[in-house]
Amino acid sequence: MLSLRLTLALFVFLLVPGAAAKDDVAGYRWRNVAIGGGGFVSGLVFHPHEKGLLYARTDIGGAYRWQPREQRWLPLMDWMGYEDNGRFGVESLALDLSDPDRLYLAVGTYLHERGQDGVILRSSDRGATFQRTPLPFKFGGNEQGRGNGERLAVDPNDGRVLLFGTRADGLWRSDDAGASWREVRGFPAIAKDRSAWARGWRELRPVGIAFVAFDPADGARGVPTKTVYAGVSTNETSLYRSRDGGTTWHPVPGQPVGLRPSHMVRDARGRWLLSYGDEPGPNNMADGAVWRFDPAGDRWEDITPVRRSKADAGFGWGAVAVQADNPDVIIASTFRRYQPHDDIYRSLDGGRTWTALFPRSGFDHASAPWTQDAKPHWMADIEIDPFDANRLLFVTGYGVWASTNAKAFDAGAEMAWRFEQAGFEETVPLALASPPQGAHLVSGLGDVDGFVHDDLDVSQQRFAGVRFSNTESLAFAGRAPQVMVRTGYFHNRPEGAVRGAWSNDGGRTWTAFASEPPDGEGAGQITLAADGKRAIWRPRNGEHHWITADMGGRWQPVKGLPRTAVVEADRVDEGIYYGFDAISGKLYVSGNGGVAFQEVRAPVGEIGDWYRAEIRPHPEKTGEAWIAASWRGLLHLAPGKLERVPGVDNVMSVGLGKPAKEGDTPVLFVFGEVRGQRGLFRSDDAGRRWRRIDTDALRFGGIIRHVTGDPRLHGRVYFGTEGRGIWYGDPK
């Protein structure tokens, strides 16, 4: 170990010029690793005039179209690439009632300074292709009130006319099927007022206009609709009506105040049903109501199914829906009713009496076994299939449930629900590992913890034993790959719960560390020595890296490392660890089991902390590793040298895969830029030649993270996305 450390100290940093081979698309077959759902489906929209035409939108994972014949969801936004990072959350979705081929998506995820301006995507072929119109402000597909809607609406009588209710910029209108937009200056100023803001995780954010609805009865085919409604997310006067096609607006008389509207739907008698909450959701809601409004005489009726108890923490109402051919059949969903649980209420008499569905419901978890311990929550949208009154659907924070026998329930049977998530993957992978033994893939994910996948095409049960909300770092021992460690985060941390764990069966069952380091907030990054006996953990927001030799029985600070350095263990020699600090561009090595590190005199220049660096040690050779160093490229560390791999301009993630022949250099996979082109690339010859293996038509929604080659299958690669789950690719 000492001689190796001295050798590493003599490294020279070499900038090796070179060019990638001409990019060609390697024939790859791409598929999602099956989790099944996993994220918040924020809205469902049926086309009322075509059977089976159904769309779903998500807060971070794009939009989908239901395929009735295949009984699967088809993703519609996988063509979006890195330049659209921040636009994979869908603020709203709208259909043209006069043309079922037309689809509109308002895409944009965040309002903060790193968020991108929103875009209206418009399709004339049900989402097979899109044209785009940028708007000069940000959308909030993953902000408060994201389950409200729909904010985007097409005039049912004249498909050229669209209205879009924004969060902070008022009401906008298009008269050319979404190609161009202008602000409706006459809309009330309350849409931009602070009363139409709500508190998120940390601060107040604008919610603005929650929905827009045209009254189809007040118009004729080819003539713009005259009567239009819009609801503002405020507990002041919130519902406004225009009788001149949206030019002038006035408050609807007699309306309830003190609660915010979230959804508004029309029944077959021309009346409107509205759901309300004291907050827009999903983070907060402790009160609410369901009302019916009859435009004939502007009459209002409170039809709230059940009232909150003074003893409970309160709840609101997420959404309301009505059967297309029978206005007396209504369903409504509670929201954030944690005690005893959220529920859906059903009325057969126009809201005079209601029955709770879940106490007499059965849930089929076969398609996604992990949902057995996931309770329905965040039911921000519910629907009754306009062509099949037996079929009810509701969204949750982790997917979509659909019933098959609503009428039988009305006659006394148990309601049957199935988790309809085939093809629908919305998880956010935070850590991936492909060990040389056991299951081919072990994954850590946001919100749903993690999985061991023996079969990549079949949804599995989650980790057993210790369970986190997020598993954020995962590592295995190079010479004992059944030994693993992981760190995580709890959304609501149980008192005293340790946020690190270990496994000796390849990640199937986990035991909590005896303790966690004395600083930081759990999560962070962890690595494990080649023999599985020493782990180094850098907790989130911690001041130090910490090492343990007894799975958390005792922790001691690591010497010689800056707090921002990424650390990985050598896969062969249990005494060697590598550290790289993207802030300073400095490389560090430990040859004494990770107790202390020394700087290697091979500076690579400042990179900055925009993207975390990655270190991938050689699976079979000690002292060798590859470093994803952002704009400093892909660095190759080997005894006696540190060189930049030719042709790679920028690398955000790197993975190593099985070589074609034993003893050859591992296959290199990188997500970044090669010769000025961004994409996912592969090299079979140590980086002398590269070929792109994604395509312009399939770019997985933007950022690719945690690129991981399979050490047992030549050519296979795994990676995570920003909301479209885990993907894997095999050469055709």
Catalytic site positions: 59, 447
Q: Are 699 and 81 in contact, with CB atoms under 8 Å apart?
A: yes
Residue 214 backbone zone (phi > 0: left; psi -120 to 50: alpha; other: beta): beta
Question: How far is 583 from 29, CA to CA, in rounded Å?
Answer: 37
Q: Which two tokens stand for residue 420?
A: 């309809």
Question: How far is 611 from 629, CA to CA, in rounded Å?
Answer: 9
Question: How far is 42 from 653, CA to CA, in rounded Å?
Answer: 30
Rounded to whole angstroms, what are the CA distances from 297 to 240, 253, 293, 594, 611? Answer: 16, 10, 9, 77, 59
The whole-angstrom distance between residue 112's C-alpha and the CA centroid of its chain comes to 17
In the sheet with 577-581, reading across from the earlier edge strand, the strands are 566-569, 577-581, 586-590, 598-600
Tally Cβ neighbours within 10 Å of residue 298: 12
Q: Which two tokens stand for residue 566?
A: 């990424």
Q: Are 80 and 88 in contact, with CB atoms under 8 Å apart?
A: yes
HSE-CB of 510 using CA atoms within 13 angstroms: 27
Instruction: Tell me the three state secondary structure of residue 147.
Output: coil
Strand partners, 321: 331
Radius of gyration of the chain (CA): 27
Q: Which two tokens stand for residue 206?
A: 């604008």
Q: Are 525 and 542 in contact, with CB atoms under 8 Å apart?
A: no
Question: Before 603, cis peptide (omega within 30)?
Answer: no
Of 133, 178, 132, the closest CA to residue 153 belongs to: 178
Residue 38 backbone zone (phi > 0: left; psi -120 to 50: alpha; other: beta): left
- Concatenating the DSSP letter of every residue in 622-682 gives TT-EEEE-BTT-EEEEETTEEEEPTTEEEEEEEEEE--SSTTSPPEEEEEEEETTEEEEEE
Q: Are 606 and 585 in contact, with CB atoms under 8 Å apart?
A: yes
Instruction: State which H helix or E strand residue 46 sits in.
Output: strand 41-46
